[in-house]
Amino acid sequence: MFAADRIVLWAPWMVVFMPLFGFMVLAFFGGLAKRQGQQQGMMVLATACTFASFFLALLTVKSLLSLPVGDHGLHFAQPTLAEFNWIDVGGLTIPMTLLIDPLSSTMMLVITGIGSLIHLYSIGYMSHDEERVRYFSYLNLFTFFMLVLVTGASLALMFVGWEGVGLCSYLLIGFWFKKKSASDAGKKAFIVNRVGDAGLIIGMALAAAKLGTLSLMELSTGVKTMAIEEFGVFGPLTLISIALFIGACGKSAQIPLHVWLPDAMEGPTPVSALIHAATMVTAGVYMVARLGAVYQHSETAMWLVAAIGGVTAFVAATIAIVQNDIKKVLAYSTVSQLGYMFLACGVGAYGVAVFHLVTHAFFKALMFLGSGSVIHGLSGEQDMRQMGGLRTRMPWTFWTFTAGWLAIIGFPGLSGYFSKEEILMAAFGHNVFLFGLALFTAGLTAFYMSRLYFMTFLGEYRGGLEKKHEDHAGHDAHADHAKADDHSHGHGHGGIHESPAVMLIPLFLLAIGSILAGYIHVPQFVEPAIRVEEALEHISWMPVAAFAVAFAGFWLAYLMYAGPMRELPAKVAAKFAGVKDLLDAKWGFDDAYDSFVRNGVNGVVDVSERVLWKKVDAGWIDGAVNGIAQMTNDFSQGGKLLQNGLVRGSAISILAGAVALLSAILWANS
């Protein structure tokens, strides 16, 4: 039971099922919790489940690493649940099996670790919401599906998690369902994701038809045995890879399927941190990395992945520059950073992509939660023009946010620095144009993040909130918070205040992660699982170039938003009005999407209604049917006397029918 080789057979299942257990308890019994204390109990239970899941994940990984090494130096295990098949039809067997190897272990730790912290944070953040138990049940359900996504041993099981997290995302974005914009955003997210999912289904169908399996292990090893004619520019492997990549674009918000992510900010901020920054949106990157051995065989698909990734990174970063909503900046930043990860995948540096996924999970979750703390402290304000000077009023939030900011802009020594530099090096070896774009984007990143940082925390407070609670700022406030309930009711009404400890502790831990995560050798750890040899050429001038570009971005932002040239943004905007308009319009994607919805979808709706329903159905088909009926009716006017009663008439026709039937049988028998 407690030997390592036994542990890896049961512990991963416990990791997966703990959050599901939490969800079930909350879903079935949450309605019974009426009082404040009971509801808090429910919230603590949900949080405890994810923490338990995290510790079990640690145990799993520790045991996994003490297993004897398989081929290619890979530690892995495939625990199967009770010899039970989820699907077993027509030769396609999909057992309930998990794949535990360094790659899924890494994902598991990120999800449960960061997930636990966000659960903890939510206890504070959602403390005033009447439906906090429902919120926590969704959060637990999400964690369950996300774990299924990364541990499932076949594409089909991955797809369970894939759609499941999409569902939870739908529920959580539209959590405040009374708001039309929230339920609209939820619906948009689900439908755009379904477009991607359709790609995934086609990819699975192709893989099943061509390779005869959906098992991730077998797919990765199977491609090596494929005949050479299966490769080629538009060979089956390319089609499989591209179809799956469409799914990845939907989930990971890559152009042109990125439009749902900024809208998704309608959800509660911890949800943005968990789902729309640290975990769910990275699922596409995980899938491409997981199938790296397949992608590696298709130059076309690789090129597409790299190009979409590079372009998305750049475009999203430019849009982030002109956003004034703090969460929108972070959302576009997330799209941009995901683009970096795909760029890394596309140039064959899958391990590096996962590395950036991990470091990004820390610093982006940190910054989202930090922005949540700001929004919480400002009673719901999200416009950065109404912020400023929060450094002194929310010192803990400020200092932890600083760590996240430095990490994302690539300050030497912090996590983002390492992972981004490796992406740049990998890109340089493959495609100089994409490398240039990525390097320039690094500068843009430093610029827009510094802009956010300066506008929010430095300078003078520009908002209109009264300042009566100012003296509560600082960490004394949360001591009160823990024991005094009346204080917590003061939140959201009064002036600017620092958040309670239950929200600050996760910030603190994530800040430590953002600083130190770069020292874990993620690429070397996960590479055996991906089965692609990555030879990363070390380029000595890269640190210098990366730092110089980041510094330039930072310095420019400093001048424009904190330094002596504060009138400059307006001047630049006036001078380059065309560019400003383009960026304000988000490169036209939102307009294109809206007009697609308005014209395309409305056109479809219109055609469906006017042509398909009212003309084809009601006009042609029914017209023909009714016409025939009318003819029959005219014809049978003579028999009208028989129709003197519904029941009797039918009885007679049945009798007549029976007579006709018998005579016909007599004929047939003759």
Partner 1 sequence: MDHLLSLLILTPLAGALVLLLGRGMSNETIKRFSLALTLFLFAVSLLLLTQLSGFESSTEYRFQEIVNWLPEWGISYHLGIDGLSLWLIILSTLLTPISLLGSWSSIEERVREFNIFILILESAMIGVFCALDLFLFYVFWEAMLIPMYFLIGIFGHGRRIYAAVKFFLYTMAGSALMLVAFLVLYRETGSHTFDLPALTRASLDPGLQMWLFLAFALAFAIKVPMFPFHTWLPDAHVEAPTAGSVILAGVMLKMGGYGFLRLAIPLFPVAAQKAAWAIAFLGAIGIVYGALVSLVQPDLKKLVAYSSVSHLGFVMLGIAAFSPMSVVGASYQMLNHGVSTGALFLMVGMLYERRHTRLISEFGGLKNVMPRFAAVFLLVCLSSIAVPGFNGFIGEFLILVGSFTFSPGLVILSTLGVILSAAYILWMVQRVMYGEVTNEKNANLPDLNPREWATLLPLVFLALFMGVFSSLFTPSIEKPVIKIIQDARVRALPPGGQIRLIPMRQAGPAPSADTAKEAQQ
Looking at residues 169 to 208 of the shown chain, list those that interact with partner 1 (rule: CB under 8 A): 170, 174, 177-178, 180, 183-184, 187, 190-191, 194-195, 197-198, 201-202, 204-206, 208
Q: Which of 39, 127, 169, 215 binds partner 1 (CB under 8 A)?
A: 215
Site for partner 1 in 508-527 (CB under 8 A): none
Q: Which of 58, 92, 465, 552 binds partner 1 (CB under 8 A)?
A: 92
Among 212-220, 330-338, 371-379, 419-427, the segment contacting partner 1 (CB under 8 A): 212-220
Tell me the closest approach of the beta carbon of residue 485 to partner 1, in angstroms: 26
CA 222 – CA 515 distance, rounded (Å):
40
Site for partner 1 in 20-79 (CB under 8 A): 67-68, 70-71, 75-79
Q: Which of 38, 40, 85, 382 binds partner 1 (CB under 8 A)?
A: 85
Q: Which of 24, 44, 48, 160 binds partner 1 (CB under 8 A)?
A: 160
Tell me the closest approach of the beta carbon of residue 531 to partner 1, in angstroms: 11
Residues 6+ apart with CB under 8 A from 557: 446, 447, 448, 449, 450, 451, 453, 454
Q: Which pairing describes strands 80-89 and 92-97: parallel, antiparallel, or unpaired?
A: antiparallel
Tell me the closest approach of the beta carbon of residue 300 to partner 1, in angstroms: 18
Is residue 430 involved in binding partner 1 (CB under 8 A)?
Answer: no
Place of tokens 């084809």: 616
Pick the closer one to partner 1 by CB: 79 or 495: 79
Site for partner 1 in 621-660 (CB under 8 A): 621-622, 625, 629, 632, 646, 650, 654
Pick the closer one to partner 1 by CB: 544 or 654: 654
Report whether 181 contacts 266 (CB < 8 A). yes
Q: Which of 44, 58, 65, 222 binds partner 1 (CB under 8 A)?
A: 222
Tell me the closest approach of the beta carbon of residue 340 to partner 1, in angstroms: 29
Residues 6+ apart with CB under 8 A from 561: 450, 451, 454, 455, 458, 459, 569
Task: Please count the other Cβ atoms lying within 10 Å of the Cβ belonging to residue 183.
Answer: 17
Place of tokens 């495939």: 78
The two structure tokens encoding residue 500: 């309670």
Pick the closer one to partner 1 by CB: 79 or 506: 79
Query: Judged by CB under 8 A, how many residues of this single chain contact partner 1?
Result: 83
Place of tokens 């808090």: 40
Site for partner 1 in 602-621 (CB under 8 A): 604-605, 607-609, 612-613, 616-618, 621
Report whether 276 contacts 299 (CB < 8 A). no
Pick the closer one to partner 1 by CB: 524 or 633: 633
Query: How does DSSP assign 99-137, residue by residue?
Result: -BSHHHHHHHHHHHHHHHHHHHHHHHHTTT-TTHHHHHH
Site for partner 1 in 130-149 (CB under 8 A): none
Tell me the closest approach of the beta carbon of residue 130 to partner 1, in angstroms: 11
Pick the closer one to partner 1 by CB: 164 or 370: 164
CA 431 – CA 204 distance, rounded (Å):
30
Tell me the closest approach of the beta carbon of residue 87 to partner 1, in angstroms: 6
Dmax over CA atoms of the chain, in Å, equals 108
CA 344 – CA 342 distance, rounded (Å):
5
Tell me the closest approach of the beta carbon of residue 122 to partner 1, in angstroms: 21
Pick the closer one to partner 1 by CB: 392 or 663: 663
Tell me the closest approach of the beta carbon of residue 533 to partner 1, in angstroms: 19
Pick the closer one to partner 1 by CB: 580 or 615: 615
Pick the closer one to partner 1 by CB: 206 or 352: 206
Q: Which helix (H) or strand (E) holds 83?
A: strand 80-89
- The residue count of the chain comes to 670
CA 275 – CA 264 distance, rounded (Å):
10
Pick the closer one to partner 1 by CB: 105 or 415: 105
- Provide the b/e sequence for 460-481 (b: ≥16 CB within 10 Å): ebebebeeebeebbeeebbeeb
Pick the closer one to partner 1 by CB: 191 or 552: 191
Q: Which of 87, 568, 572, 585 binds partner 1 (CB under 8 A)?
A: 87
H helix intervals, 322-470: 326-346, 350-377, 390-393, 395-409, 415-430, 432-457
Pick the closer one to partner 1 by CB: 76 or 405: 76
Residues 6+ apart with CB under 8 A from 357: 110, 282, 285, 286, 341
Pick the closer one to partner 1 by CB: 544 or 661: 661
Among 83-91, 278-286, 297-305, 368-376, the segment contacting partner 1 (CB under 8 A): 83-91
Closest CA to 602 of 614, 590, 594: 594
The two structure tokens encoding residue 299: 């130059």
CA 588 – CA 585 distance, rounded (Å):
5
Report whether 103 contacts 530 (CB < 8 A). yes
Site for partner 1 in 461-500 (CB under 8 A): none
The two structure tokens encoding residue 330: 């972070």
Report whether 308 contacts 253 (CB < 8 A). no
Tell me the closest approach of the beta carbon of residue 229 to partner 1, in angstroms: 13
Site for partner 1 in 354-393 (CB under 8 A): none
Tell me the closest approach of the beta carbon of residue 403 to partner 1, in angstroms: 38
Tell me the closest approach of the beta carbon of residue 316 to partner 1, in angstroms: 24
CA 436 – CA 90 distance, rounded (Å):
50
Tell me the closest approach of the beta carbon of residue 532 to partner 1, in angstroms: 17
CB neighbour class for 436 (10 Å; exposed up to 12, middle 13-18, buried from 19): middle
Q: Which of 24, 167, 465, 559 binds partner 1 (CB under 8 A)?
A: 167
Report whether 222 contacts 211 (CB < 8 A). yes
Tell me the closest approach of the beta carbon of residue 605 to partner 1, in angstroms: 5
Tell me the closest approach of the beta carbon of residue 51 to partner 1, in angstroms: 25
CA distances from 162 to 148, 158, 252, 263, 670 (A): 8, 6, 11, 20, 64
Pick the closer one to partner 1 by CB: 433 or 620: 620
Pick the closer one to partner 1 by CB: 291 or 473: 291
Pick the closer one to partner 1 by CB: 96 or 329: 96
Pick the closer one to partner 1 by CB: 479 or 665: 665
